[in-house]
Amino acid sequence: MKPKVLAVVGPTAVGKSDLAISLAQKFNGEIISGDSMQVYRHLDIGTAKVSPTEQSLVPHHLIDILTVQERYGVQQFVSDCQALIAGIHQRGKLPIIAGGTGYYLKALLQGLQLGGHNSSSAEVRSHLEAELAEVGPEELWHQLQLIDDIAAAKIDAHNSRRVMRALEIYRVTGKLPSGQQNHPHPYDAYLIGLNCERSLLYQRINQRVELMMQMGLLAENEWLRKQGPNLPALKGIGYREFTPYFAGEQDLATTVSEIQKDSRHYAKRQLTWFRNQMDVHWYNLVERKEQITEIEQAVQRWRNTDEL
């Protein structure tokens, strides 16, 4: 019998964290953050971490585990989650993954073959990072497109981490990234997706960014840039948009507008990705709060069934 894993996914600003906490309280669960940026200590506002008070309601994992100088990728995420899921089940509780990067969740829940760490991979990765700094993300994406147009079509040209990972696979193994094989799904996973009407979603995203600014997002960015150059977090939404501001090339109002725009575009890509890549059961708690009952009933039915 496969271990059960519940996941709450969807775009930003639709109530995923609140739902995950509610379900964890009802079904004796522990929450694993699926967000690749919430692993960093001190980056609380731009990553939309749940507050310490909210974290105290149920156990949370993969939050504040690294310094901003450290790197965190899909292989480490999968390894960490596998260990956490096993431990949570041993404690007789339900693992609940809240939010997160779609590719990370797919790698974990569908057993995507990721390869291993070795010296040749490290060397290739170093070269790719140097190329990225020299030519930019779009040129790397065009290289991938020439090698494997199927893989390139599934990756945003500005997602340099995934572009480099795909190129790394090809340069180390000689195999096309699109030819990666999945292992049999290791978990009995149930995915709940939250969404709402698009104009309302975009309004909520804009308001969330404004709230982040009121909470101190500018100061958080000032702190981050004092920690060193070329930090992984500087590529994240809510942080990368401040680069021209600190260079004196852009005013603060424009910076806020850019964060809102990038957040809206990312939300749209998230929805498209999850709809095309994973089996998600969608709900709208923003406009139909009564659907919480439907969600709880669906989770209870899933928990009562066994998947071999």
80: tokens are: 């960490």
Q: Which residues pair with 40 in a beta bridge?
A: 66
Residue 184 labelled as part of a binding site: no
11 labeled binding residue: yes
Of 220, 265, 216, 221, give the one whose Cα is nearest residue 242: 221
In order of 67, 180, 284, 297, the CA distances from 193 in angstroms are 30, 26, 8, 15
- 58 annotated ligand binder: no
CB 144 within 8 A of CB 152: yes
Amino acid at 142: H
Q: Which two tokens stand for residue 298?
A: 């669906």
φ/ψ region of 113 (left if φ > 0, alpha if ψ in -120 to 50, else beta) reads: beta
14 is in an annotated binding site: yes
According to DSSP, the residues that pair with 31 across neighbouring strands are: 60, 96
C-alpha–C-alpha distance, residues 31 and 290, integer Å: 23
The annotation status of 12 as a binding-site residue, yes or no, is yes
* Tally of CB atoms within 10 A around 266: 15
Residue 16 labelled as part of a binding site: yes
Query: Per the annotation, where are the binding residues?
Result: 10-17
Q: Which residues does the annotation place in the binding site for ATP?
A: 10-17
Instruction: Give the residue ranges of the annotated binding site for substrate.
Output: 12-17
